[in-house]
Structure 1
Amino acid sequence: MVKLYDVIIPGGEDIREAITEFVLEKDWEEVSVIGAVGSVQDISFTTPIENRLPLRTGVTPCFGAAEILSFSGEIMRREKMDPELESVYPDKNSPLFVHIHASCAIAGGHVYGGGLKCGTAFRSLRVFMVPMKNNN
């Protein structure tokens, strides 16, 4: 039976750091991120800037508070990541590859989205994850 886990990220905390710490604490090899609910602030997204490979991305910031609309992805030990994505995700310090796509809405109904680059929880953010079968 699949078990659903959640991590609640309090306001002001870095989203990627909190998720990384949780996965490392559980000593998981691979995780599917299946959703989130809550609010974020000062979040940035990466998106492709050309219609060709190798992939090149640009960054779109979303300043201020926003509501999460979608949040899904994968987290795995760095050695399991697709080598073609290494140039797109230059963080070599973390032992994990955190690959999350998200979207959020700001005042006026404007929506931003793409690959989650950075951001913090606003009031709080609850992230739902399912560890993959090869985990401890």
Structure 2
Amino acid sequence: MGATRKESVFISKNLYSRLILEAKSSMPNEACGLLSGSGSKCTRVWPMRNTEPSPFSFAIDEGEKERAVREMHERNEAFIGLYHSHPNGLPVPSQDDIDHAPDVFYFIISVGGAEEGIRCYRIRGRQVMHLTIIVE
């Protein structure tokens, strides 16, 4: 049985900092939004309104999401990621995250707790794969 290569996702220092800022500004509730780019490189953050504001969950309005994805395509970008925060929690997927995650890069931002930072995952068929974030 051979070793598997760990998948990576690329993000600029500016976008990484913006995700942390989005999470902090939404405290005590979860922040949420989309990321666009190409391949495994994130190039733009699209903050979304959390339609169910809570420290423990988030929901994105489908109409708002569809409008953002259309604008991404107009800019020749693709919808490649989703983010949300875990205020005062670890940046690991909850069971709800696993059950409902789309097949895109899944960023979880932890602020206000013991561990502050961002982790990224791919969740396919309820299988969770932790990815390496390369900050450029």
Instruction: Compute the TM-score of the two structures, normalised by the length of structure 1.
Output: 0.30
Q: Which of the pair is proportionally richer in helix?
A: 2
Q: Which has the higher strand share?
A: 1
- Greater RCO, CA 8 A, separation 6+: 1
TM-score in terms of structure 2 length: 0.30
